[in-house]
Structure 1
Amino acid sequence: MLEQERDKLLLYRHKIKEWQPTMEESHKEDSQKPGFWAVVFSTFAAAFGVQSKRAQERDFKHGNIWVFIVAGLIFTTLFVLTIYTLVQTVLNSQQ
């Protein structure tokens, strides 16, 4: 019985190791500068408070702060304009 449990545990550990990226792969991903879409997704995630720690660390280590500031300003402007337009549409439909 103990041998079967030990064999199961070893099998699970082996499967987990297969699923996890190697240190070189994860380091390679984290060492790259974030591209356009990574900046867009990071901005959306940060705005809604769901930014992953890994993405946040990548952004802080390899990202240019001005890119994120500009992306944040653009997002905020678009968000405010969207809310304003929705409110105006609802108010105009009430009249």
Structure 2
Amino acid sequence: MSDKSTFWQTLLSVLSSFFGVQSERNRERDFREGRPLHYVLTGLLMAAVFVLAVILLVRWALSLAGA
């Protein structure tokens, strides 16, 4: 196993945590190999993308409703 988490491992771990389906093995790997700053930054970016997606979805739904 590598000493550091890859970008994709970090991204998948953050996505898994958003849905609450992170496995115990992956969680242990994250704590053992990951850098906290990478997880925090990825989490903030994913939260911003989620909020932006919700805003765009609501605007689209309102435009379809004629509001």
Larger radius of gyration: 1
Q: Alpha-carbon deviations, 1:14-55, whole Å to 9, x = none?
A: xxxxxxxxxxxxxxx3x5311010001001001100001011
Q: Percent identity?
A: 36
Give the alignment partner of residue 87 of structure 1, picking from 58, 61, 66: 58
Give yes or no for the alignment of 1:75 onto 2:49: no
Larger RCO, structures 1/2 (Cα 8 Å, 6+ apart): 2
Distance in 2 of aligned mates of 1:90 and 1:32: 46
Structure 1 alignment gaps of length 5 or more: 1-28
Query: Once superposed, what is the RMSD of the aligned Cα atoms?
Result: 1.0
Distance in 1 of aligned mates of 2:3 and 2:24: 16
1:61 Cα shift?
1.1
1:43 corresponding residue in structure 2: 14
Report the 3-state secondary structure (helix = DSSP H, G, I; strand = E; otherwise coil) of the residue aligned with 2:4: coil
Structure 2 alignment gaps of length 5 or more: none
Name the count of aligned residue pairs: 66
Q: TM-score, normalised by structure 1?
A: 0.66
Report the 3-state secondary structure (helix = DSSP H, G, I; strand = E; otherwise coil) of the residue aligned with 1:80: helix
Which one-letter code corresponds to 2:34 in the other structure? Answer: G
Considering fraction of residues, name the structure with more helix: 1
